[in-house]
């Protein structure tokens, strides 16, 4: 599919996951093209998802998070422009206005194809005295480096929010013997899961944190007092938490200001609307990664689920289309996994509450079973929830937690979901069995059998 | 689906996996029925697959292999008759002739529904001086108990055959510091895999056996000399191996003599032919488990792949049909997994050689990639092979090996296979990602992308 002898200038705004992928693949497919990444950041092509493990100390050097260095990009003929802020897209003229963050100089840059890969940015509640050096977010690699330095000085850390990143940070802080208070607005942490599952996770976190972690649920922060050594976090319920640092991890929003300003259509979720080829509403402008809206493959509804794995895949699809090929991105299932201690927590497809909200006549089953034969020394439990549609018997989603081998069971369901798998189909699955790897009837099959009985009764 | 007030006499011949499952489920569904298991064995309802781990010493008490004790069966109203050999099925009269192995007494037993779950039996090459107490097989629990006792006395053990059980036994013997010589007729052990994969496994076994293991390939045994303390194993190529004991693990055959004698139709594979409801050619006689033929869900060809997971599922289907329900067994993919040391070895669907043999225009890809993000301390490699059909782009099978989390990747493919997944579909899979669990583009997706490029070129 390589098209040679075609000189085209491709500008990519943002270079973390989707942007870096587009650049690398486009240059490979169109060796004669001119490929540039502009980013306001100091770095490109790094693993944001790895930052909690760097902070934890699982490895020493943040440079290990760099997937592809600026040197490597330049050697392959891709031009990297760091600390360059794109301030305007002039789509009628196919030009960008770019500001040099250090010199404050401006320049105009022409493009034949433009890719917006501006990612997402943290939601900062307006109470936050964000100028305090003791209030952190975790989005860029610079954020990660600072947060680790901050953590090393702190004895007590307050985390606002209880999503994936918050829980990964709790793990990192506990590993470093820090006291942690987490404030979560929902009844349990990980509110993207159904409560029967997230309640179990919260129990596990509290029981496996050496007494260092306190979780305040159903509460939000009203203000943060102090700016210097010690902060006071005040909640609406009246807690006052004296703390050495605060991490705001209460969600992200798509970084769409630039696109919106250029007249590019946003979707109902507020992210940039794209078609399956990653094209925006303006010709020759693509968007991919966390700034772009996605389609849920089960409900076909627009969703905004910003994940690194999706960003990579969308980057690939954009690159193929830019390079003259035809490739579609089929959508997402919201598949995700995280670790806390020995526990893996994973989901794919719709949770029961999402399914009900979207009008499905949903039925679910939750079972706990061993991950291996009971007599194997390393046997652990898994808790699995399956959600199905009563009418069609189609599976809608799965959630699994366990110190055993839980997460890959969710992937097994996820491949079924894109094919419209029914509960009956899952019963027919021929899964591998040996005592060190599963029970003779795997938990997936057992859960499907029980769900089938419920559906039939 | 429970039918009450129906007094029916259900006789099951064999009680390991399929037989025990039929008994338990039928009695649950039809509480008023009379359910009997007849077995020539001393035990029912045990995990054959667990015996290598008992022999290894992973747990101390063989009783842990018992899934459900005879007492438990009797308490739930299921009658267990051990050491009772069924010598004849008189289907016209719906009677069995049964011999008491200890007293040599005979009796006739009536049935309304009969289930043949006689399993498989080891293939014993005719050279074998099988009367020697130093020659072992591993099929029944008694075999497992004797084999462990034998191993404990031995310094050097010879294994004839290199399949799943043979390799699990190599692991067990190495753990117990025994010297092992394995004789395999194929160029590499695990000849059910493609050679590019089995060659890697053989290397791993040799490199991870503390120098205790020797493998002789492309050779078979011509005779075994001696009967008492030390045996001499002579191969066709001229090796003479002085050894303390021999394990014959060169395959199994379906135990069908009783069925054949009764006029029950066998399939092309030599196993008992059954329909999807597990019914044989004679009314009111079912067969399930290792004695029954299966259908390959990809090729729709009859196959004989004896596995414990399948036996359980077939037992469930037979029980539902006997109890007045309607349930079909859809077939198998030959999904299997085993462990050697830290390496997992798994497969599902057709290997490349099987696919070519069955007339597919097969194309494959083999890639090695990390199982987790490269900076995570516990990262390991996985090698994955995908096989697809050039014409339809449908996936035909997968094989994976790795010290990392390889086996569950094969299960992820297996659920796709029953739905007719294409290479393009697998590229669209939305698999979970976090650094402790996978790379941002999972090896499954990478392999599918490369295979797609090969298919398109």
**pLDDT tens-digit profile of B212-249?**
999 999 999 999 998 777 889 999 999 999 999 999 99
Q: How many angstroms separate the CA atoms of A278 and A274, rounded?
A: 5
The DSSP element (H or E) to which B260 belongs, if any, is: helix B257-261
Please list every residue in chain B whose beta carbon sits closer than 8 Å to the beta carbon of residue A376.
50, 53, 58-59
Task: Point out the residues of B that are catalytic.
Answer: 49
Torsion sign (Cα): B173, B174, B177, B180: positive
Residue B215 · residue B223 · CB < 8 Å: no
* pLDDT tens figures, A244-284: 999 999 999 999 999 999 999 999 999 999 999 999 999 99
Determine the pLDDT at residue B1: 41
Q: How many angstroms separate the CA atoms of B281 and A146, rounded?
A: 74
Q: Is A300's pLDDT higher than 80? A: yes
Closest residue in A to B422 (Cα–Cα): A419
Q: Percentage of residues in chain B with pLDDT exceeding 90? A: 93
Task: Give mean pLDDT, residues B441-445.
Answer: 95
Residue B233 · residue B158 · CB < 8 Å: yes
Q: How many angstroms separate the CA atoms of B135 and B158, rounded?
A: 9
CA B125 to chain centre: 20
Determine the pLDDT at residue A1: 41
Query: Token pair of A64, please?
Result: 């290990």
* Nearest neighbour of A412 by CB, restricted to B412, B433, B434: B412
Cα dist from A401 to A351, A408, A411, B179, whole Å: 14, 11, 13, 41
Determine the pLDDT at residue A3: 47
Query: Token pair of A381, please?
Result: 């439990």
The label of the residue with tokens 């004789």 reads B183
A-B Cβ pairs (cutoff 8 Å, strict): 230
Q: How would residue B457 be classed by pLDDT, with cut points 50, 70 and 90?
A: confident
Determine the pLDDT at residue B4: 46
* pLDDT tens figures, B23-51: 999 999 999 999 999 999 999 999 999 99
Task: Give mean pLDDT, residues B385-409.
Answer: 95
Q: How would residue A6 be classed by pLDDT, with cut points 50, 70 and 90?
A: low
Domains of chain A plus CATH, in order, are: 9-51+62-120+253-322 (3.50.50.60), 124-250 (3.50.50.60), 345-456 (3.30.390.30)
List the beta bridge partners of residue A273.
none
- Answer left, alpha or beta for residue A442, where phi above 0 means left and psi between -120 and 50 means alpha: beta
Cβ <8 Å between B432 and A335? yes
Closest residue in A to B67 (Cα–Cα): A374
Task: Point out the residues of A that are catalytic.
Answer: 49
| Triad A218, A337, A278: Cα angle to 5° | 105
CA A121 to chain centre: 12
Average pLDDT, rounded, for chain A: 95
Cβ <8 Å between A49 and B440? yes
* Nearest neighbour of A376 by CB, restricted to B53, B375, B442: B53
* Nearest neighbour of B49 by CB, restricted to A58, A412, A435: A435
Interface test with B, best of A341, A432, A446, A452 (most B CBs within 10 A): A432
Cβ <8 Å between A49 and B449? no
Closest residue in A to B316 (Cα–Cα): A449
Query: Token pair of B366, please?
Result: 């083999």
Distance from B45 to chain A by nearest Cα, in Å? Answer: 12
Q: Collapsing DSSP states into helix, strand and coil, what is residue B22?
A: helix
Distance from A414 to chain B by nearest Cα, in Å? Answer: 7
List the beta bridge partners of residue B99.
B85, B106
* Nearest neighbour of A308 by CB, restricted to B412, B440, B445: B440
Query: Token pair of A259, please?
Result: 């696109």
Strands of B405-446 (E only): list them. Answer: none
Distance from B429 to chain A by nearest Cα, in Å? Answer: 6
What per-residue string of b and e applies to B417-453 under the rule 16 or more CB within 10 Å gives b?
A: bbbebbbbbbbbbbbbbbbbbbbbbbbbbbbbbebbe
Instruction: Flag whether the ipTM exceeds 0.90.
Output: yes
Determine the pLDDT at residue A128: 62
Residue B160 · residue B183 · CB < 8 Å: yes
Please list every residue in chain A whose beta carbon sits closer than 8 Å to the beta carbon of residue B49.
373, 433-435, 440
What stretches of A121-163 show up as alpha helix (H) in DSSP?
141-153
Query: Token pair of B207, please?
Result: 């490199």
**N- to C-terminal Cα separation, chain B:** 53
Please list every residue in chain A whose beta carbon sits closer than 8 Å to the beta carbon of residue B59.
375-377
Which residues 6+ apart lie within 8 Å of B61 measured at CB?
Answer: none
Q: How many angstroms separate the CA atoms of B320 and B21, rounded?
A: 11
Q: How would residue B3 be classed by pLDDT, with cut points 50, 70 and 90?
A: very low
Q: How many angstroms separate the CA atoms of A126 and A116, rounded?
A: 27
Which residues 6+ apart lie within 8 Å of B53 measured at CB?
Answer: A373, A375, A376, A435, A436, B59, B168, B172
Q: How many angstroms separate the CA atoms of B53 and B68, rounded?
A: 19
Cβ <8 Å between A432 and B425? no
* Nearest neighbour of B53 by CB, restricted to A330, A338, A435: A435
Please list every residue in chain B whose beta carbon sits closer than 8 Å to the beta carbon of residue A18.
none
* pLDDT tens figures, B399-412: 999 997 888 899 99
């Amino acid at each position: 599919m390589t098209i040679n002898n075609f000189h085209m200038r491709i500008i990519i705004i943002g270079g973390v996951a989707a942007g870096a992928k587009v650049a690398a693949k486009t240059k490979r497919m169109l060796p004669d093209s001119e490929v540039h990444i502009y980013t306001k950041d100091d770095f490109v092509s790094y693993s944001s998802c790895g930052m909690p493990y760097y902070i934890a100390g699982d490895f020493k050097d943040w440079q290990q998070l760099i997937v592809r260095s600026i040197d490597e990009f330049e050697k392959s003929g891709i031009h990297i422009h760091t600390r360059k802020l794109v301030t305007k897209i002039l789509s009628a003229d196919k030009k960008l206005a770019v500001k040099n963050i250090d010199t404050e100089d401006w320049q105009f840059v022409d493009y034949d194809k433009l890719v917006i890969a501006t990612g997402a940015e943290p939601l900062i509640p307006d109470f936050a005295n964000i100028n305090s050096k003791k209030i952190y977010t975790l989005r860029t690699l610079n954020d990660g480096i600072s947060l680790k330095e901050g953590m090393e000085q702190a004895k007590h850390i307050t985390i606002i929010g209880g999503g994936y990143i918050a829980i990964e940070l709790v793990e990192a802080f506990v590993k470093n013997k820090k006291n942690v208070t987490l404030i979560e607005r929902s009844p349990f942490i990980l509110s993207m899961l159904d409560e029967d599952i997230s309640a179990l996770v919260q129990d596990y976190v509290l029981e496996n944190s050496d007494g260092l972690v306190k979780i305040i649920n159903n509460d939000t922060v009203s203000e943060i007092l102090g700016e210097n050594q010690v902060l006071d976090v005040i909640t609406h319920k009246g807690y006052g938490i004296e703390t050495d640092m605060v991490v705001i991890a209460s969600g992200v929003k798509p970084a769409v200001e630039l696109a919106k300003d250029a007249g590019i259509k946003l979707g109902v979720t507020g992210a940039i609307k794209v078609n399956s080829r990653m094209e925006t509403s303006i010709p020759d402008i693509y968007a991919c990664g966390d700034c772009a809206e996605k389609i849920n493959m089960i409900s076909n509804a627009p969703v905004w689920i910003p994940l690194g794995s999706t960003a990579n895949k969308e980057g690939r699809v954009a690159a193929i289309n830019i390079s003259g090929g035809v490739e579609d991105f089929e959508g997402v299932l919201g598949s995700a996994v995280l670790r806390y201690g020995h526990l893996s927590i994973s989901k794919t497809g719709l949770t029961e509450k999402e399914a009900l909200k979207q009008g499905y006549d949903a039925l679910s089953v939750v079972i706990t079973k061993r991950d291996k034969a009971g007599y194997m020394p390393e046997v652990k439990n898994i808790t699995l929830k399956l959600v199905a549609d009563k009418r069609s018997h189609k599976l809608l989603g799965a959630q699994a937690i366990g110190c055993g081998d839980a997460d890959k069971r969710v992937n097994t369901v996820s491949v079924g979901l894109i094919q419209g798998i029914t509960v009956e189909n899952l019963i027919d699955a021929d899964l591998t069995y040996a005592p060190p790897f599963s029970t003779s009837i795997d938990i997936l099959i057992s859960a499907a059998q029980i769900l089938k009985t419920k559906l039939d009764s």
